[in-house]
Structure 1
Amino acid sequence: MRHLHKQKVRFYQHPKANTVFWDREGKRIELERILPRTIGQVKVKHVYLGAQDPLPVRLLMVRVPDEVVAQRRERLAQEAADKGQAVNSKQWDLAAWTLIVTNAAAKHVGPAHALVIMRERWVIELLFKLWKSQGHIEEWRSEHPWRALCELYAKLMAVMVQHWLLLCGMQAGSLAPFGQSLSGSAFSCLTRVGSAPWLTPLAPVGQPTLLDDAVRLSGQSSRD
């Protein structure tokens, strides 16, 4: 984060459970004392990361609903069980809040915007995970930089078109032409990223898109 800050790049991160925050006077902040207590309540505090060469950031804190807390703690318990370890007590307690640190000024990004950015970032990470495992976009056959770049762009265009076709197929109720090659985990990942609005093909209301026609024609060819 410090490297990004020096490059004047805005960052948004979930702090780790053991992150230590400091105030302007160099005193350690007791996080438990400043956390919001009411569900849905949002608090923002200017803090510093690191005792030496402190990094100024904004700490955004949101108290989440009980059902979200239960889901998070269930996931923590499952991850700990998979690793044969005990659940980190700090993580368990902090599951009741969403915490975000950012160097973006309040006039540029408010708490609501930061939450949207973090949610969409998670969707993007899932999408690229899918593209790496199924589309092999991080692999290329040439050592020549320009050829490798061309291959990367070609794969990105291919997986983007395939992804839109799959989403159209999901909306139309037929995935037969495209979904047979996906593994179960890849299909699960696809359904989670499918709700992202920026991945949905756009067209005027009531008018079919080129992808709609492609899905319709592919469905016809699969029955012929």
Structure 2
Amino acid sequence: MNGGYRTIVKNFRSSFSHILDSEKLDQIASKTKFLIRRRKLTPGLFLDLSFYSIDSEVKSLRRVSNAAWEDHSVIVSKQAISRRFSVSCISFIKELIGESLASQVTTTLDPTDLQLFTRVRIKDSTTFGVQDSLSDMFEGYGKGGGPSSKAGISIQYEFDLKTNNILDIELQSAVARDCTDAVAKKDDIQKGDLIIRDLGYYSGKVLEQIIVNEAYVISRLYQNVTVYNQNKERIDFQRIYHQMVENQIKYQDIDVFIGNEKQSVRLIIELLPESIYQKRIIQRNKENKSRGYNTSHEFKGRAHFNLFISNIPRPSCSWDTISKLYRIRWQIELVFKIWKSILNIDKLKKSSNERFLAMLYTKLLWICINWKIISDCRNYFYSNYHKLISLTKCFQTMGENSRKLRRALVDINFIDDFLLEIICKLQIGHWMEKRKNRQNFEEIIGLIFCKSNI
């Protein structure tokens, strides 16, 4: 086994030691009250049966009971399995997800770039419809009589980049707004925190709280927020665009005031290609036409740029580092997209509410394990062969080898052989197919991951 392969194996063992080590697994089970007394249905056995249950399709309890005997020589009734789906079960799997999700995000940023911050808090959410019986717990967009699902879930996820500790992982109603979540949890912001979030979380109250608490922020500039220069005059982004083009400038890093409160922040202005600008304008014109509006001069000016705001002092953090830090948030966004579009996280079989939620969390955990293997292989292959592997093909292959992966998680002595086999398989017939005269979406995303080492 060469050095690169050994690194992949080592990283996997480290990332999922809380699952591979039965003692650590039992400790988490005890912490969440899932393990109170010794049973033949141990936390490890229950977790393996849960992975079996959500593989391809959610299996019936009878089939899960049969698998306990066939795979582990343990006799356990379907009724006994059913009783294990409880609040403590959900907490147990949720805790495992927290450990695993944090390990999926890596970065090569120089640690000196992060010394200013006590915590680097990155947050995002994903939303999808679920079975109607959960509508009282998780309201969907169709509960009021609309065409959408009556029940829907939004997963709020936040982690600390410096420690990989989970700060927030919470299921909310699909109708809950990200900015409402941000306001509700603003008191948790501590001195020295760096908050990195998307536009949906923007709130003037939260921004004010961040600054008052002597914390830091990196965010996209909300489109309706007015921007003023140092003379308190409103900034004309069309004028800035023409100045940057004329002087062949790709970015600017300036001090501005924003909002009615005229809060002082840094504004990072990144000039976009004309093709992206045109796409933005076409999309906005289409939306405005259906509503009887005209596209504003202000929007046309801002559409030329990526606009970021921050209050981090310049000597401590360059504009380029701010861009890298914000890109890490895009990785979480991509992870959610893959989960839904390729792995169908939003398509689970109807069951009791407790079992449904437990299976939802189990599917998230299973996806994280697969994602870690694929992403490490992809980065290694690109650095050595300068070729990208297809995420779609890789996840399909991982699905075909799910039984072997389950065995590797149960039998630690089988891990090395399994990972070596998968690494070899992903090098054959899994390369991304070129599209004539243009890069496809997956290829662009792959280049962002591999070239940025993020």
- TM-score tier after normalising by the smaller chain length: 0.5 to 0.7
2:307 alignment partner, SS class: strand
Give me the whole-angstrom Cα distance separating, in 2, the residues matched to 1:216 and 1:164: 16
Work out the percentage of aligned pairs sharing the same amino acid: 18
Q: Within 2, Cα distance between the matches of 1:122 and 1:177? A: 20
Secondary structure at the aligned position of 1:12 is classed as: strand
What is the CA distance between 1:58 and its match in structure 2? 0.3
Q: Is 1:116 paired with 2:324?
A: yes
Paired letter, 1:28: E
Contact in 1 for aligned 2:218/2:326 (Cα 8 Å): yes
Distance in 1 (alpha carbons) for counterparts of 2:420 and 2:372: 10
Are 1:62 and 1:99, in contact at CA under 8 Å, matched by a contact in 2? yes
2:233 aligned residue: 28
Unaligned stretches of 5+ residues in structure 1: 182-207, 219-224
Q: For the structure 1 residues 45 and 74, does the alpha-carbon distance in structure 2 shift closer, same or farther, using more than 3 Å as the test?
A: same
Matches within 5 A, 1:121-200: 121-131=329-339, 134-135=344-345, 142=354, 152=361, 154-164=362-372, 171=389, 175=393, 178=396
Aligned CA distance change for structure 1 residues 34 and 77 (closer, same or farther; 3 Å): closer
Q: Is the 1:18–1:90 contact (alpha carbons within 8 Å) kept by the matching residues of 2?
A: no
Question: Could you tell me whether the CA contact under 8 Å between 1:12 and 1:101 is conserved in 2?
Answer: yes
Q: Is the 8 A contact 2:250 2:271 kept in 1?
A: yes
TM-score, normalization by structure 1: 0.59
How far did 1:81 drift?
Answer: 6.0
CA gap 1:163/1:40 in 2 versus in 1, 3 angstroms: farther
Tell whether the 8 Å contact from 2:251 to 2:270 is kept in structure 1 after alignment: yes
Scaled by the length of structure 2, what TM-score is found?
A: 0.33
Tell me the equivalent position of 2:263. 55
CA displacement, residues 129-149 of structure 1 (integer Å, 9 cap, x when unaligned): 44467336xxx9559xxx97x
SS in 1 for 2:334: helix
Structure 2 Cα separation of the partners of residues 106 and 173 of structure 1: 38
> d(CA) in 2 for partners of 1:45 and 1:14?
15
DSSP-derived class of the 2:278 partner: helix
Q: How many residues of Structure 1 are paired with residues of Structure 2 in the alignment? A: 184
Structure with greater Cα Rg: 2
Distance 1:40 1:71, change over 3 A: farther
- Which ranges in structure 2 are unaligned for 5 or more consecutive residues? 1-206, 347-351, 379-387, 400-415, 427-454
1:46 aligns with 2:250: no
In 1, Cα distance between equivalents of 2:217 and 2:391: 39
The equivalent of 1:11 in structure 2 is: 217
Question: What is residue 185 of structure 1 aligned with on the other side?
Answer: none
Whether the aligned pair in 2 keeps the contact of 1:57 and 1:102 (CA below 8 Å) is: yes
Partner SS for 1:163: helix
Residue in structure 2 matching 1:37, options 244, 260, 265: 244
2:305 paired with 1:100: no
